[in-house]
RNA sequence: GGCGAGUUGGUAGAGUGGUUAUGCAGCGGAUUGCAAAUCCGUGUACACGAGUUCGAUUCUCGUACUCGCCUCCA
């Protein structure tokens, strides 16, 4: 069995081996998106990171023994603003955005979590939790708001390593007349007639952001669960506040906290003002495949800042192309994989899984894949193929087979023309007319056709720059 | 100001108290009519200073620089 070690933000160490509370039901909660717009590339990082962890946990504990929850925050002032400016209903916007998110994340190979709760479906548990916090003296109502009293929780700041005194000195906190303490944060806030609201003991209103995750995690995973994940920008205040709420409500909450580092683009923070802001959908539309996006993401460890660059995109495209062609050469298809499974040859590479289990060392796992890809037979390549599938880089083996024969999709005139040119070249070569032979080869290369000579036999394949119009112009 | 992370060879990027990361690029070789493709081989690396140690890129402390968060942006 693969041992798993995870860096726990709470203890700031990789520490001891991961041991689930219940190995028949390993539970993980990851903060999902606020649904008001297309997911940008940075949004994809935690999705992919925790998808890898989900796959690893399933590998180790079994598909049936992992519960993965990722929420949708579908009540938020940004959504309200988007609705107001577009004139569309909030429901329309959130429904559409959720579908976009699922499509885009599916494209980068993310398996859907077991549960994807919407915050608006959990208002009642949130209200109940807030009432409980008030009853226990950790929260108070004021002017239609309910606030969490930070001073009532002695360990506030433990996750992020901050002290309340320091933060107040920093003075970047919102001062409001209804707050007893500037650090107190909102659990419930009043809604006017134009904003979505639900009836509550404190009047019509809507929940604060932090209480959503506490309530949904509790409802779906129980008072104590194994892993809580998210981007490291959420460490404070979001996760700190979740912990305060849940602990004060009497829940043990998450054992292990994981945070991925941020994503940059060409060395700079992705931002609209720098003009380097783009969504996952933008890349897909440009023809960058989801697998390529995923491979680039996996090439940097999740706890380090990752830089998205054009160079990396290109390299990932080449690597993926090489890997797939290795498998195609050995006739990989859905049937091949089935046969390997039947023969008991569909096994994980122990070293690869070990590397992955060591705090999700995906760059190390990719290095191992490079080594495994040197296998000489279909059987010898099984751990390689298995590894590709485990990392989510290949999900459909019949597609691998299909792309090997995509020559069939070319226009009818192309293949015969290329074949004729190759025959002419063979004749020239037989006559030792090297000038003519090379002219024909250069012509094919110029149009992006790869000519490969093996044992005197010439074959061809479309290169990445294949352009039939160049071929047409040259003949 | 507070908190945290990082600094590895041309480049990307792992890792380790003494032993080959890996990819790309480069160089050499096999192969080829010449190439391409493929295969094999190959590197001068661990910011700086001090300390611990038989031995540190790897541990400790300090310095410099970079970056992130503290603004309900993952």
Judge whether residue A307 contacts strand B, using its CB and a 7 Å cut-off.
Answer: yes
The first and second tokens of residue A126, run together, are: 């949130």
Per-residue pLDDT at A259: 93
Judge whether residue A186 contacts strand B, using its CB and a 7 Å cut-off.
Answer: yes
In tens, the pLDDT along A306-318 reads 999 988 999 999 9
Per-residue pLDDT at A350: 94
In tens, the pLDDT along A273-285 reads 777 888 999 999 9
User: CA(A384)–C1'(B20) in Å?
Assistant: 21
Confidence of residue A175 (pLDDT cuts 50, 70, 90): low
Instruction: Please state, rounded to an integer, the average pLDDT across all residues of chain A.
Output: 89
Judge whether residue A74 contacts strand B, using its CB and a 7 Å cut-off.
Answer: no
Per-residue pLDDT at A169: 53
* Chain B: bases < 7 Å from a protein Cβ: 1-6, 11-15, 21-24, 32-40, 67-74
Judge whether residue A262 contacts strand B, using its CB and a 7 Å cut-off.
Answer: yes
User: CA(A46)–C1'(B64) in Å?
Assistant: 33
| The most confident of A81-95, A107-121, A366-380, by mean pLDDT | A107-121
d(CA A58, CA A79): 34
* pLDDT(A62) > 70: yes
Average pLDDT over residues A381-408: 84
Per-residue pLDDT at A167: 65
Judge whether residue A228 contacts strand B, using its CB and a 7 Å cut-off.
Answer: no
Cβ-based contacts (< 7 Å) between A 2-21 and strand B? 12
Confidence of residue A166 (pLDDT cuts 50, 70, 90): low
Per-residue pLDDT at A32: 93
Confidence of residue A74 (pLDDT cuts 50, 70, 90): very high
The first and second tokens of residue A125, run together, are: 């548990």
Please give the model's pTM, rounded to 2 decimal places. 0.93
Per-residue pLDDT at A267: 81
* pLDDT(A111) > 90: yes
Separation in Å, CA A204 to CA A79, A144, A189, A196, A208:
18, 8, 9, 9, 13
ipTM of the complex model: 0.92
What percentage of chain A has pLDDT greater than the value 70?
Answer: 95
Average pLDDT over residues A323-341: 91
């Amino acid at each position: 069995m693969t041992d798993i070690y995870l860096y726990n933000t709470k203890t700031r160490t990789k520490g001891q081996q991961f041991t689930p509370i219940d190995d028949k039901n390993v539970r993980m909660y990851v903060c999902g998106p606020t649904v008001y717009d297309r997911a940008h590339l940075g949004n994809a990082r935690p999705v992919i990171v925790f998808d890898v962890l989900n796959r690893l946990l399933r590998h180790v504990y079994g598909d049936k023994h992992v519960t993965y929850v990722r929420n949708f925050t579908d009540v938020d002032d940004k959504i309200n603003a988007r609705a107001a400016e577009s004139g569309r209903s909030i429901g329309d916007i959130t429904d559409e955005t959720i579908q976009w998110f699922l499509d885009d994340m599916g494209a980068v190979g993310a398996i859907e979590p077991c549960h994807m709760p919407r915050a608006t479906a959990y208002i009642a548990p949130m209200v109940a939790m807030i009432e409980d916090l008030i009853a226990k003296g950790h929260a108070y109502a004021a002017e239609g708001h309910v606030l969490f009293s930070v001073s009532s929780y002695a360990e506030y700041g433990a996750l992020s390593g901050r002290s309340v005194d320091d933060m107040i000195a920093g003075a970047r906190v919102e001062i409001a007349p209804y707050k007893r303490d500037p650090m107190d944060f909102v659990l419930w806030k009043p809604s006017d007639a134009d904003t979505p609201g639900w009836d509550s003991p404190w009047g019509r209103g809507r929940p604060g952001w932090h209480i959503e995750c506490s309530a949904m995690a509790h409802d779906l995973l129980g008072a104590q669960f194994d892993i809580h994940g998210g981007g490291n920008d959420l460490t404070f205040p979001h996760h700190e506040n979740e912990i305060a709420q849940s602990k004060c409500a009497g829940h043990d909450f998450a054992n292990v906290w994981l945070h991925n580092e941020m994503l940059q683009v060409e060395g700079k923070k992705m931002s609209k003002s720098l003009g380097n802001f783009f969504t996952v959908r933008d890349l897909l539309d440009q023809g960058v495949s989801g697998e390529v996006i995923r491979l680039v993401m996996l090439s940097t460890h999740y706890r380090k800042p990752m830089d998205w660059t054009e160079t990396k995109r290109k390299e990932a495209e080449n690597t993926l192309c090489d890997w797939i062609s290795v498998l195609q050469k050995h006739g990989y298809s859905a049937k091949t994989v089935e046969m390997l499974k039947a023969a008991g040859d569909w096994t994980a590479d122990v070293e690869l899984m070990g590397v992955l289990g060591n705090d999700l060392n995906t760059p190390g796992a990719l290095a191992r894949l490079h080594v495994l890809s040197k296998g000489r037979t279909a059987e010898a390549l099984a751990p390689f193929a298995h590894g590709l599938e485990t990392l989510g880089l290949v999900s459909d083996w019949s597609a691998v087979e299909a792309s090997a024969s995509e020559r069939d999709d070319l226009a009818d005139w192309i293949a015969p023309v290329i074949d004729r040119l190759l025959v002419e070249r063979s004749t020239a070569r037989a006559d030792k007319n090297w000038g003519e032979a090379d002219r024909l080869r250069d012509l094919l290369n110029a149009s992006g056709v790869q000519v490969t000579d093996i044992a005197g036999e010439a074959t061809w394949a479309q290169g990445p720059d294949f352009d039939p119009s160049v071929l047409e112009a040259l003949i």
